[in-house]
Every structure is written in C-alpha cells, then in structure tokens.
Amino acid sequence: MANPTDTPAAPTRYLTGITTSGTPHLGNYVGSVRHSVRFSRQDDVQSFYFLADFHALIKVDEPARIQRSTLEIAVTWLACGLDPDKVTFYRQSDIPEIPELTWFLTCVSGKGMLNRAHAYKAQVDKNAARGEDPDADVNAGLFMYPVLMGADILMFNAHYVPVGRDQVQHIEMARDMAQHFNHLYGDHFTLPEAAIDDMVATLPGLDGRKMSKSYDNTIPLFAPKARLQKLISSIVTDSKVPGEPKETEGSAIFEIYRAFADSEETETLRRAYDDGIGWGDAKQLLFERIDREIAPMRKHYEALLADPARIELILRTGAEKARALSQPFMAELRHAVGLRNLAVRDSNDGRAKANKAARPSFKQYREADNLFYFKLLDADGKQLLQSRGFATPQEAGSAIGSLRRQPGAALAALAEQLEPVDDETMRSATAALEVLSADAASEKS
Ligand code: TRP
C-alpha cells in the first residue's frame, strides 16, 4: 500500500529540514531545535530531520561555507540531544531520489502557482519597485524552491511539517502537487499539513529586531563563553541609569531571558526591573542563565565538531535508512508515471486512471489536542466527511472499517462521531462509501 495513512496503526510522521547556509543561533535554538529535539523523543511519532543543502545552493555560492554550515548544523542537532537511532537524520544531497522526484513534481506544478510563491514574488516586486527587469538577479532555483521542498516532504509521506508561519505557503503548495499527482496517477502521496507551534518564541536579536541571519544581529548558539558574554553585553537597551525602574515590555534582554527561564525566574527578573536593576547587572543575569543551559551542550558540540568523520558516518547511516524508503517508493512512482521496463505490461493500465485514481479515500491524522481524526475525501480530494476526535487510532480505524464495509448502517451508527454536513454532501459521501465498499468486495473475491 503506497499510502500508509490508510493503516490505522501507522505512526504519525513529522519531517523538517534546515537550510545549510549559516551558523545556528539562539533564535534557531529557541524557535525550533529545542522543541523539535524534545518532541522527537516521544514514542508514537516517527520523525525525519534533514540538512537541506540543495536549498542552500540557491543563496550561497561559497563551497566552504556550505560545507562548514552543514557540519555545524548537524553537530548542533546532535549536541542538543537528537538521537539518530530514534529518528531518521540525513543530508538531502545524499538522497538522489529527491531531485528525481523534484522533476516529477515540476511536471504537475502550475507555473502560475510558482509565480505566487512568496520568496520569488518578493524578489520580483523588489525589482519592479526599483524599475528593473522583474527577473533581475532571480535564479531559477529560487523559482523552483517550493518544488524541491515539496519533494523533500512527499518523498517520505510526511503527515506534518513543523515550520514557521513564513513556510506555510510552501506546505500548501506541496499538498497541491500531491493532490494533482494522485489524481493523475493513483493514490501515492500523503497530503501533508503544516504544524505551527505558537508556543515557541521568536527571539529579538542584538539590535532588538527579530534575531535573524539577514539582519546580522544574531548570537551564535555555541559561541565560546567569553564571546557569548561579550555579545550579550552589546544588546541594545534604553539609556535609563541604575536605580531607575525599567520597562520589561520591548526589552530584548528580558525577552531573551524569558525564553530560557522558568516562570519563577522570569518573575524575579521582572521585580528587579521594577526595582531599577542596572543594565550591566541584567546582562550578567542573562549571560549566566543562558550559559547554564548551553554550557553542557557546548562541550558536546565542541567535541563533535572536532570529529567531522564521525558526523559524516552518522549522516551516511541516516541516508541509508532514508533510502530504504525512498528507493522502493521512487521505483513505484516511476512505474506509476510510465518510466518502465519495456518488456513488462501492467494489467492495471487504463484502470489506473478510471478506477484507482478516481477512488475516494480516507485520511487519518492526529491534531494538537492529541485526539485522532479522519476525513473522507472524494476522488478529487474534496472533503466529504470530517470525524470528531477519537481517543485512540484504533477507534478511529474501526469507525473507518465499518464505514467501508456497511456504509448505510455505519453512517447512522456514527452520526454522533461525525461533523454534520448538508444533504448534498451526505449524498456524495454515501456514493463515495459505496464505491469503497464495492472495491473492498471485489478485492476479496
Ligand atoms: N525552506 C525551509 C527553510 O528555509 C527549509 C526546508 C527545505 C524545509 N525543505 C524542507 C522545511 C522541507 C520543512 C520541510 O527553513
């Protein structure tokens, strides 16, 4: 079965990539790494973390920087506790199926959709504002960025992609590509969804704006202790003197402190602000608090960084694990589109379009509330039914099973577990379930 979401017991798959174009900073740690590492340790999820080095080539033309960044980011994840035995941790460029899939997806992506991608459009708008040629300084890699990202995601049939808000459009595009491909060639891809975590903080940088490579205001996560202290002492403040009460609102020092401290510590600092703590002392507290969390990992980081051959081995082992999935899946996809052994005929041809591709389907997923849901989609991916939350994937699976076997009886019995729909949608849903139950009957015979 190409699409593991149809199996109730399949674990939920999360996938995320990091572009290897710079050195990880405190903002990356607080906004993504810390949370992802904690999350990856849960039992019931299967996660994929990869170094998006093909993506880096779009922006960076310094080979040494790409190599260095790939090492630093890999080591950062490991030093922060990512367990490569538990997750699949790999380098994008070690998976040749990804560029191959990129081409397949290129051929099902509307050029108009790519014209609307934010990163590309921003560059075009900037050129227009300057009165330049719209495509001045735009390489085709920037234009194709969402397709490469779609291939990253669809290659491993990820259910959820944890990303920042700026990346949501890319996930929607990946979904669009998956839907279009499935419609043409049968149900091969899981439709991915963005998982946005509003709990994670965006950190202010040295100048008070969002900490970001592009503002050049970052604090490297594993800067040596003395440098960390020096950078922290350069964070902007207002000109209030010691003894004057200070505002926590809009204070970069306070915001960064809060991202590391527990609520009690944060309250203590808030009181110190009220009591007129001097900026020098506040910076010292911030330095000590960050260093307390980072120092043990920094030691680990430095040791790993000194042993690049070991990191290389870890990534190659990860690539083998990833390719155990991507190779057979790619073979299936090649067959599906007609890149085949000439001597073999597929008895499903013709039926594939008329029958398989036109089949309605169930999708199972888990929400942030930790309950398990399913949807019934028609052949075009339009939603017909939406379940309420089930406590376990088994319960959701068994509801799906009864809908497949005895649509009429199950629809009545499950009325409470389904979101209400209008009559016309219910008629479409009933028809779709009948198609599925006929399929099931013919598979048995
Ligand atoms: N575009 C992402 C970023 O700039 C990196 C990335 C590449 C990615 N491929 C991905 C993220 C697939 C999630 C899934 O941060």
pLDDT in tens, 166-186: 889 999 999 999 999 999 999
Determine whether the shortest distance from the Cβ of 150 to ligand 1 is under 6 A.
no
pTM of the model: 0.77
**279-305 vs 263-274: helix crossing angle, rounded to 10:** 150
Q: What is the pLDDT of residues 16-62, one digit of tens each?
A: 999 999 999 999 999 889 888 988 888 888 999 999 999 999 999 99
Residue of higher predicted confidence among 195 and 357: 195
**4-201+307-337 homologous superfamily:** HUPs (3.40.50.620)
Distance 84 CA to ligand 1 centre (A): 19
Average pLDDT over residues 341-359: 68
CATH, range 222-305: 1.10.240.10
- Residue in 36, 34, 31, 32 with CA at minimum distance from that of residue 47: 36
How long, in residues, is the chain?
445
Banded model confidence at residue 405, pLDDT cuts 50, 70, 90: confident
pLDDT score for 348: 72
Residue 149 CA to ligand 1 centre (angstroms): 6
**Candidate CATH numbers 3.40.50.1370, 3.40.50.300, 3.40.50.720, 3.30.160.160; the one for domain 359-444:** 3.30.160.160
CB of residue 52 inside a 6 A radius of ligand 1: yes
Whose CA is closest to 317, among 155, 152, 89? Answer: 89
In the structure, what pLDDT confidence band is assigned to residue 187 with cuts at 50, 70 and 90?
very high
Each residue's pLDDT tens digit, 73-90: 999 999 999 999 999 999
Better pLDDT: 162 or 292:
292
Instruction: Count the Cβ atoms, other than its own, within 10 Å of residue 280.
Output: 10
Work out the burial of residue 354: count CB atoms within 10 Å of its CB; fewer than 13 is exposed, 13-18 middle, 19 or more buried.
exposed
Q: What is the pLDDT of residues 319-342, one digit of tens each?
A: 999 999 999 999 999 999 999 989
Q: How buried is residue 241: exposed, middle or buried, by Cβ count under 10 Å (0-12/13-18/19+)?
A: exposed
Query: Where do the domains of the chain lie?
Result: 4-201+307-337, 222-305, 359-444
**Listed residue (234, 314, 248, 315) closest to 280, CA to CA:** 234
For the segment 346-370, the average pLDDT, to the nearest whole number, is 73
Helix 140-155 to helix 97-106 angle (10° resolution) is: 110
pLDDT score, position 1: 38
Supply the residue whose CA is at minimum distance from atom 6 of ligand 1: 17
d(CA 365, CA 69): 34
Residue with the larger pLDDT of the pair 351 and 262: 262
Contacts of residues 244-251 at CB distance under 8 Å and 24 or more positions apart, as own/partner, are: 244/276, 245/273, 245/274, 245/275, 245/276, 246/273, 246/274, 246/276, 246/277, 246/279, 246/282, 247/273, 248/273, 250/208
> Is the distance from the beta carbon of residue 176 to the nearest atom of ligand 1 less than 6 Å?
no
- Count CA atoms within 13 Å of residue 137 on its CB side: 12
Give 107-157 pLDDT, tens digit per residue.
Answer: 999 999 999 999 999 999 999 999 999 999 999 999 999 999 999 999 999
For residue 443, the model assigns a pLDDT of: 56
**Per-chain mean pLDDT for the chain:** 91
* Lowest-pLDDT range of 2-11, 32-41, 343-352: 2-11
4-201+307-337 shares its CATH topology with 359-444: no
pLDDT at residue 349, as a whole number: 75
Please work out whether the CB of residue 152 comes within 6 Å of at least one atom of ligand 1.
Answer: yes
Ligand 1 pocket mutation pick from 69, 152, 197 by most atoms within 8 angstroms of CB: 152
Q: What is the pLDDT of residue 364?
A: 85
Q: Is 167 in the pocket of ligand 1 (CB under 6 A)?
A: yes
Q: Note the pLDDT of residue 367.
A: 86
- For the segment 229-241, the average pLDDT, to the nearest whole number, is 95
